[in-house]
Amino acid sequence: MKNKKTYIEKLVEQGEHQTLDFKFEISDSKKIARTLSAFSNTAGGSILIGVKDNGVIAGIRSDEEIHMLQAAAEMYCQPKVILKFTEFEVLGKTVLEATVPKNTEALVSAPDKNGDYKIYVRRHDQNILANGIYIQTWKLKKQENPVHIYFSNNEKSLLELLREHHSMSFSQLKKHLKLTSNKLTKLIVDFILVDILTLKITEKGYFYQLNSHYVNEDDTNRLMEKNDFSSNKL
């Protein structure tokens, strides 16, 4: 057992964030599996067990904490998550750190409250359901197939809208552009793949905005003057 009081105290001082989560105890393997999924699909992270949400170090109660985490990682995460466990003594109490690696090979799913397997992502200190565009874009990036965009009125209207409003949700774009969900999804996914659009995840949902290279009106106009755009030209 390692005595790393300073290390743990520095982590606790940070508070919960994108790559750090506190758990007083692990009482539900399915619930903690959602946190493992979110960390795996974002940037990895650490879970400190035996630490309350307010940062008070209470210590773990038993070895059952490790068993619950292992069950979450192996039984309720698809694919399985490989955890690294380290115990620390802090003020006479044991704190367990479970390190979750980022999975670059596959998106990890975990059961929701109804038992249906869903993909989660991490935003600040929250686990958020991944939407269809996030999942589709991730898979297509993995395939590394070339993307070709022809600038019709739909593509140009999308760029003009985002230049004017900066950031918009899927429903807002659909309302303005009057496109079917499938057509708008393909439009957004293609633009993300060629780095014209970026996807912004917030606690309020998913929003889409122009890449910083195209926020300027002149740059956007030059882009739209092209008849087509391909990822091969990047």
The letter for the amino acid at 202 is T
Domain with CATH 3.30.950.30 in the chain: 5-129
Average confidence (pLDDT) per 10 residues, the chain, 234 residues = 72 96 96 98 97 95 90 98 95 94 97 97 95 96 88 92 94 97 96 93 92 75 71 50
CB 76 within 8 A of CB 90: no
The yes or no reply on domain 133-233 and CATH 1.10.10.10 is: yes
Domain with CATH 1.10.10.10 in the chain: 133-233
What is the pLDDT at residue 151?
Answer: 87
* C-alpha closest to that of 110 among 90, 129, 84: 129
The letter for the amino acid at 219 is D
Rounded Cα distance, 114 and 156, in Å = 41
Residues 6+ away with beta carbon under 8 Å from 15: 55, 125
What is the pLDDT at residue 150?
Answer: 86
Report residue 207 as tokens: 């929003």
Architecture of the domain whose range is 5-129 = 2-Layer Sandwich (3.30)
Report residue 109 as tokens: 């799913």
What is the pLDDT at residue 233?
Answer: 40
What is the pLDDT at residue 148?
Answer: 86
Bridge-based pairing state of the strands 45-49 and 20-23: parallel
